[in-house]
Amino acid sequence: MDAQKLANHAEGLFSLPEVSNRLATLLEDESFALPEIAELISYDPVLLGRLLTTANQAPYQGPVVDNVSEAVARIGLKDLRTLVISTKAVQTFGDLPPDLVDMNNFWHHSVCTGLAAESLAFKCGATEPTQLFVGGLMHDIGQLLIYQLLPDLARQVLEKASESEYYRYRAEKEILGEEMTHAHVGAALMRKWNLSPVLQEMVAFHHEPRRAVNYPLEVSIVHISTAIASCMEPSWSRGQQDIAVLNVDGFAWETTGLSPKVVEPIADQINMESFTVLDIIDPDSLKMF
pLDDT at 258: 92
Using CA atoms, how far apart are residues 189 and 180, in angstroms rounded to an integer?
12
- 206 and 74 in a common domain: no
Mean pLDDT, range 6-34, rounded to an integer: 64
Q: Name the residue range of residue 61's domain.
A: 3-92
CATH number at residue 243: 1.10.3210.10
- 234 and 202 in a common domain: yes
- 209 and 69 in a common domain: no
- 107 and 243 in a common domain: yes
Residue 249 DSSP class: -
Q: Round the average pLDDT of the chain to a whole number and report it.
A: 79
Contacts of 129 (CB under 8 A, 6+ apart): 118, 121, 122
Residue 98 DSSP class: T
Task: With cut-offs at 50, 70 and 90, classify the pLDDT of residue 116.
Answer: very high
* Tens of pLDDT, residues 233-267: 655 444 445 545 667 999 999 999 999 888 888 88
Task: With cut-offs at 50, 70 and 90, classify the pLDDT of residue 93.
Answer: very low
* Distance between first and last Cα of the chain: 39
* Tens of pLDDT, residues 76-90: 876 777 676 545 534
Contacts of 172 (CB under 8 A, 6+ apart): 146, 157, 180, 181, 182
Helix residue ranges, H only, 161-208: 165-175, 182-192, 197-204
Domain count, the chain: 2
Using CA atoms, how far apart are residues 214 and 198, in angstroms rounded to an integer?
8
pLDDT at 285: 59
Mean pLDDT, range 46-73, rounded to an integer: 82
pLDDT at 289: 58
- 109 and 83 in a common domain: no
193 and 52 Cβ atoms separated by less than 8 Å? yes
pLDDT at 137: 82
- 122 and 88 in a common domain: no
- 269 and 134 in a common domain: yes
- 170 and 252 in a common domain: yes
